[in-house]
Structure formats: C-alpha cells, structure tokens
Chain A
C-alpha cells in the first residue's frame, strides 16, 4: 500500500493568483496522478505526473493552467495558475503501487 500526504489541506485564494499543492508518498511508486473533484461530483483526471519528463494531460486540461512537476519517485506538485472561482474544487493526488491505486486526503481550494 501507499500512504499519501498533501499540503496544504485547504486554502482560500484570490482570483488571478496561483497555488502550488504538494504531494508526498511514503514509498516509491511507478505512477502519480492529479485529480479534481468538484462539489457533489466524482473524480476527474487532470494529468499523469511523469518522473523526469513532462506530465501527460487529459482533454480539457493544459500545462499553462496546471503545471505539474515530479522530480523523483515519491514527490509531485500541482500548480493551479491564474485562478478563477471556477477552479474552486478539491484537488487529489493519487499514486499507483503495483496494481492498486491510492489517494491522498485532498486539498480544498476556494477562489474568491
């Protein structure tokens, strides 16, 4: 299994600013992911964080808006850039360990 921590757990940000979310896994994992969960909705994959190379983004998500880093096998960051109220959501880090996939506690972002 994998235990995942995220910082910050929540934040309130002003429109037009950026926020970087950190994700730490307690063991080396093959794959890391970032998801978004809007109120009352299920999970939507933003991108796969690739170690040592550019992230792979899903349709509807772009690098300029959601830059991602993954410098090693246990750590990744997601930045939400130039925020608008529509970016208010829970952002979840996830990691795949062998065949199973685990999630962090989430970062609750509110943009005013």
Chain B
C-alpha cells in the first residue's frame, strides 16, 4: 500500500535553531515528492517538487532533499514566521494522485 509518513508530528525550535523534518515514503512509481506549507485556516502553499534521488531545492531558509526512501526539509536559522504545518506528499500509485503525510507542526519561538 502506498504510504507517506512524516516525523516528528510536532517540533518546537528556538529562533535560529536549525533542524530537519523527515518524510518517509513507499509510493509505487513515484512521479514527484512534494512539500507544502500550511498556515492555520489556509490552504497548502506549494514549496518544492523533487523528482529524483539526490535532487535538492532551496528557498530562503528551506532546503529539500530526496533519497530513494525519504525526503528531508532542512530549516536553517528559522524565524517565528516559519511556524506552520509542513506537509509532504508523493505522487504515484495507479492513479498518479498525491498521497499526503499527516504533516509536521513547526513552532519557532523568538
């Protein structure tokens, strides 16, 4: 069964304290690994798509990486405005739809 698992469920950081979020996946015929940011009461905001192992993408303080089994979202020197839920999703399976993890809720304290 296709599955995406994110860890930890919640992460509290001090401002400036770098860390990583994990996304493990078993998705048949993976056609992309997606990262989204979701603020309370809003829809998911697209961040990155990774297509092949070894690929990396960066945006401001965020860097996403991909291996054959997992993806990491590295947050360097986070700020309070980085607080949000980060969702990971794999596109694959028989229908090619996005399969979402449950998300990691990140809180960054000043």
Contact = CB atoms under 8 A, between A and B. Distances in A.
Interface of A: 1, 4, 33, 41-43, 45, 48, 56, 92, 99-106, 108
B103 to A, nearest CB: 6
Contact of A92 (B43, B91, B97, B103): B43
B42 interface: yes
Given A43-B44, A105-B42, A100 B49 contact: yes
B98 A101 contact: yes
Given A48-B95, A102-B46, 13 more contacts: A43-B44, A43-B89, A45-B97, A92-B43, A99-B49, A100-B34, A100-B49, A101-B34, A101-B46, A103-B36, A103-B44, A106-B41, A108-B41
Interface of B: 32, 34, 36, 41-46, 49, 51, 87, 89, 91, 95, 97-98, 100-103
Contacts of A105: 42-43
A104 B43 contact: yes
Nearest to A106: B43
Contacts of A108: 41
